[in-house]
Chain A
Amino acid sequence: MTAADLLHTAISFDAFSSLGVWINIGIIAGIFTIFALGLQLNVGFTGIFNFGQAGFMAIGAYTMAIFVTKTAPSIGLDPDSFLTLMLGLLAGILLAMVFGLIVGMPSLRLRADYLAIATIAAAEAIRLTTVNAQDLTEGPQGIFGFLTGFDPIEDGIESAVETIGWTDPESTFPLFLVVWVVALTLTFVLWRLQKTPWGRVLRAVREDEDAARALGKNAFSYKLQSLVVAAGIGALAGFFLAINLQFINPDSFLPQFTFIGFACMILGGLGNYWGVALGAIIFQSVFEGMRFLDDIGISETQLSALRFIVLGIVLIALMAFRPQGILGKREEMVLGE
């Protein structure tokens, strides 16, 4: 049974015993782990309220897709090769980091609440550009056909899995494996980075910017570095989102996605890198799992509404009762002033 069949399965709870469904949920949880690791670096460890992560994700995904489908053929690269896909990913990450610089330079000097508004506005300006700059982005129709470069990886993993005895593995398993290897590696790298002098300065900036400055640290520069790195991480998440969806359009980058990332991050624990994966798995099991509940007598629109109502309630309840999440420590928390 393919994933497409599953989406049309009328009887609900059967879906939850299917491995394919859980692998799909796992892929999304992995993508949001990567996405929210960037948020964790900004919000949890530097104390800057980046509400525009979906915008950086959009830049990563769109740059890759445009590079592979449009730029590569015109400069003589094979759009179907793995190398081109990787160059597209690299271009996406770099461009997102440049945007991080452009957004951060003026706005990181602002008060926290203004920064939140400025970053969400920047992300929306990016998304509206993808809607309207149709020559480049194909507008609401979206971009297809950048996926072939990923095939060698999928085939390689599939045959490796078959040799160790899993006959006929799920077709989505290779992506699942790649996403989680990247997510956990990134978690480890960030966790190690936090223990370096660089990481400690970030935390000092979060705790008391003036004190960090008094010790001769350029707080603004550290905040900018944090945002730029997070923007690159957001682009990486956008790359995997594009691979998983097999096409991208502006609706994949609504501001909602930033807040799904916030829900994952805070559920796991603010100021805890390993919590991000935990939060993403728990949250996405519920949030994506709800897609498969379709014999409860409500329409598809209502079901999709219900999922976002759950997102809202999770955010409200966390903020009201456990703002530090599952693994976070209350004394580690600096939730604004």
Chain B
Amino acid sequence: MLIFEGGLPDGGVAIAGLLVSTVVAIAVLSQIQGRAPAIAGVILVYLFCVLIAYNGLQAVAERGFIGLSTGSVFALGAVGLTLVYGILKLVNFAHGDLLTFGAYAAYVAYVFWSLPFVIAVAFAMALTALLGIGLEKGMWAPMRRRGAGLLQFILMSIGLAFVIRYGIQFFYSTDLRSYGLNRSGSVGFLEDWFGITLGTTQGIVLVGGLIVLVLTGLMLRYTLLGKRMRALSDDLDLAETAGIDTTRVITWTWVLAGSMAGLAGVAAGAITQLQPELGFELLLPIFAAVVLGGIGNAFGALAGGLMLGLVIEWSTLFVASGFKNAIGFLVLIAVLVIRPQGIFGRERSI
């Protein structure tokens, strides 16, 4: 079994068996309509218990916190992608590279211009939002007016992804870069009370990301703009007929998608390092989070991102860590196959 480092750990076979049975259980249970979120929760708790039984609470909790912090990066990226996907029916393969763009924008502001980090983050969010709006006005809106098909949109977004990614590589090379934030510390109370080590940066990303995500979710749920967005997502033409200024709502969608992508990029750059592939490597996990949560569902994207982060990090407890992204992709394929409408999605959206 070459995927296990240094042979199977004790009980490794049992874990593998349990995982297979879990996947089968998901497959069977997911066919029951309307209870998917609860089922997903039960499965996650079940997985959690199995992992604790074999690895001990501390290791599982430690990995879990790291998973939640990567998960909140996925979720930040996923919220924008899911809104654009839901409202404009645009499968934007360039979304990952919007993250990279944001990460480098913050790098320029923080390292080159020596602005305070908070200002640099705000600058990155604003600039990425502007890029999103610019692309909407310059590319996507004209293409929609011409009645372009799905393949045209997808390949165009892939072309755009290359232009952004390699544009960044052209100016900033493939060198690994870092914000040079102090990453040595760990979150004190977790260390003191539970003996769990969680890097300060990861802690900030986790908490900050969750706050932003929940606020965004609430905004979409309760404000007029959020309601209009959902109306567009259901039926764009009908929303227009009903007197909604769709152009304006679409612009705001890009403001939200772009700024969240910029923030996600900065967060990803802060917990790892910056390089031109940064966002592209996050794109498939972000898609997975979007699909898990159900396309167009912002809270779904939040939950999907966190769940995926947990699954990916927990997988490193028994599979060599190099495989963790491959496992993320397998989760994506499994979800697409078993429940393409996502955990929180509705049947009709397929």
Bound-complex Cα distance A337 to B148 (A): 9
Do A316 and B163 have beta carbons less than 8 Å apart? yes
Do B340 and A111 have beta carbons less than 8 Å apart? yes
A107 located at the interface, meaning its Cβ lies under 8 Å from any Cβ of chain B in the complex: yes
Note all chain A residues with C-beta closer than 8 A to B49: none
B181 located at the interface, meaning its Cβ lies under 8 Å from any Cβ of chain A in the complex: no
Known contacts A113-B91, A117-B287, A320-B156; A43 and B151 CB within 8 A of each other: yes
A124 located at the interface, meaning its Cβ lies under 8 Å from any Cβ of chain B in the complex: yes
Interface residues of B in 122-181 (CB under 8 A from A): 139, 142-143, 148-156, 158-163, 165-167, 169-170, 173-174
B333 located at the interface, meaning its Cβ lies under 8 Å from any Cβ of chain A in the complex: yes
B53 located at the interface, meaning its Cβ lies under 8 Å from any Cβ of chain A in the complex: no
Bound-complex Cα distance A312 to B143 (A): 17
Do A311 and B284 have beta carbons less than 8 Å apart? no
Q: How far is the CB of A34 from chain B (nearest CB, A)?
A: 21
Bound-complex Cα distance A23 to B288 (A): 42
Do B325 and A305 have beta carbons less than 8 Å apart? no
Please, how many residues of chain A have a CB less than 8 angstroms from a CB on the other chain?
Answer: 51
Bound-complex Cα distance A110 to B21 (A): 24
Bound-complex Cα distance A213 to B173 (A): 52
Note all chain B residues with C-beta closer than 8 A to A106: 333, 336-337
Note all chain B residues with C-beta closer than 8 A to A107: 333, 336-337
Interface residues of A in 92-131 (CB under 8 A from B): 106-107, 110-114, 116-118, 120-122, 124-125, 128-129, 131
B42 located at the interface, meaning its Cβ lies under 8 Å from any Cβ of chain A in the complex: no
- The one of B155, B161, B173 in contact with A301, judged by C-beta atoms closer than 8 angstroms, is B173
Interface residues of B in 319-334 (CB under 8 A from A): 320, 322-323, 325-326, 329-330, 332-333
Bound-complex Cα distance A336 to B329 (A): 25
Known contacts A117-B287, A306-B170, A319-B159; A124 and B152 CB within 8 A of each other: no
Do A128 and B163 have beta carbons less than 8 Å apart? no
Do B332 and A121 have beta carbons less than 8 Å apart? yes
Interface residues of B in 72-101 (CB under 8 A from A): 91
Bound-complex Cα distance A134 to B155 (A): 33
Note all chain A residues with C-beta closer than 8 A to B152: 319, 323, 335-336
Q: How far is the CB of A193 from chain B (nearest CB, A)?
A: 22
- The one of A118, A132, A312 in contact with B162, judged by C-beta atoms closer than 8 angstroms, is A312
B2 located at the interface, meaning its Cβ lies under 8 Å from any Cβ of chain A in the complex: yes
Interface residues of A in 297-337 (CB under 8 A from B): 299, 301-302, 304-306, 308-309, 311-316, 318-320, 323, 334-337
B266 located at the interface, meaning its Cβ lies under 8 Å from any Cβ of chain A in the complex: no
Bound-complex Cα distance A215 to B269 (A): 55
Known contacts A49-B154, A132-B326; A319 and B148 CB within 8 A of each other: yes
Bound-complex Cα distance A128 to B155 (A): 23
Do A337 and B150 have beta carbons less than 8 Å apart? yes
Interface residues of B in 271-300 (CB under 8 A from A): 284, 287-288, 291
Do B91 and A116 have beta carbons less than 8 Å apart? yes
B28 located at the interface, meaning its Cβ lies under 8 Å from any Cβ of chain A in the complex: no
Please, how many residues of chain B have a CB less than 8 angstroms from a CB on the other chain?
Answer: 45
Chain B 241-269 interface mask (CB, 8 Å, partner A; 1/0): 00000000000000000000000000000
Known contacts A301-B174, A320-B143, A336-B149; A118 and B333 CB within 8 A of each other: yes
Note all chain A residues with C-beta closer than 8 A to B224: none
Do B350 and A111 have beta carbons less than 8 Å apart? yes
Note all chain A residues with C-beta closer than 8 A to B161: 312
In the complex, the chain B residue whose C-beta lies closest to that of A111 is: B350
A262 located at the interface, meaning its Cβ lies under 8 Å from any Cβ of chain B in the complex: yes
Q: How far is the CB of B242 from chain A (nearest CB, A)?
A: 24
A133 located at the interface, meaning its Cβ lies under 8 Å from any Cβ of chain B in the complex: yes
In the complex, the chain A residue whose C-beta lies closest to that of B325 is: A128
In the complex, the chain B residue whose C-beta lies closest to that of A105 is: B337
Do B287 and A313 have beta carbons less than 8 Å apart? no
Note all chain A residues with C-beta closer than 8 A to B91: 113, 116-117
Do B155 and A262 have beta carbons less than 8 Å apart? yes
- The one of B155, B162, B166 in contact with A266, judged by C-beta atoms closer than 8 angstroms, is B155
Known contacts A132-B3, A305-B167, A315-B156; A335 and B151 CB within 8 A of each other: yes
Do A113 and B336 have beta carbons less than 8 Å apart? no
A136 located at the interface, meaning its Cβ lies under 8 Å from any Cβ of chain B in the complex: yes
Bound-complex Cα distance A136 to B173 (A): 32
A259 located at the interface, meaning its Cβ lies under 8 Å from any Cβ of chain B in the complex: yes
Note all chain A residues with C-beta closer than 8 A to B170: 302, 305-306, 309
A135 located at the interface, meaning its Cβ lies under 8 Å from any Cβ of chain B in the complex: yes
Note all chain B residues with C-beta closer than 8 A to A320: 139, 142-143, 156
Do B155 and A319 have beta carbons less than 8 Å apart? yes
Do B166 and A305 have beta carbons less than 8 Å apart? yes
Chain A 229-264 interface mask (CB, 8 Å, partner B; 1/0): 000000000000000000000000000100100100
Note all chain B residues with C-beta closer than 8 A to A306: 166, 170
Bound-complex Cα distance A18 to B91 (A): 43
Note all chain B residues with C-beta closer than 8 A to A323: 148-149, 151-152
Bound-complex Cα distance A123 to B188 (A): 42
In the complex, the chain B residue whose C-beta lies closest to that of A133 is: B2
Known contacts A49-B154, A323-B152; A128 and B160 CB within 8 A of each other: no
Note all chain A residues with C-beta closer than 8 A to B150: 49, 112-113, 335-337
Bound-complex Cα distance A110 to B142 (A): 28
Known contacts A106-B337, A114-B336; A309 and B151 CB within 8 A of each other: no
Bound-complex Cα distance A116 to B153 (A): 12
5 A/B residue pairs, CB under 8 Å, sorted by A: A117-B336, A118-B333, A118-B337, A319-B159, A323-B152
* Residues of B in contact with A (beta carbons under 8 Å apart): 2-3, 91, 139, 142-143, 148-156, 158-163, 165-167, 169-170, 173-174, 284, 287-288, 291, 320, 322-323, 325-326, 329-330, 332-333, 336-337, 340, 350
Q: Which 4 A-B pairs have the closest CB atoms?
A: A336-B150, A315-B159, A335-B149, A312-B162
Q: With contacts A316-B160, A323-B148, A323-B152 known, what are 17 further pairs, Cβ within 8 A?
A: A118-B332, A121-B287, A121-B333, A122-B329, A133-B2, A133-B3, A136-B2, A256-B162, A266-B155, A299-B173, A306-B170, A312-B159, A319-B152, A320-B139, A323-B149, A336-B151, A336-B153
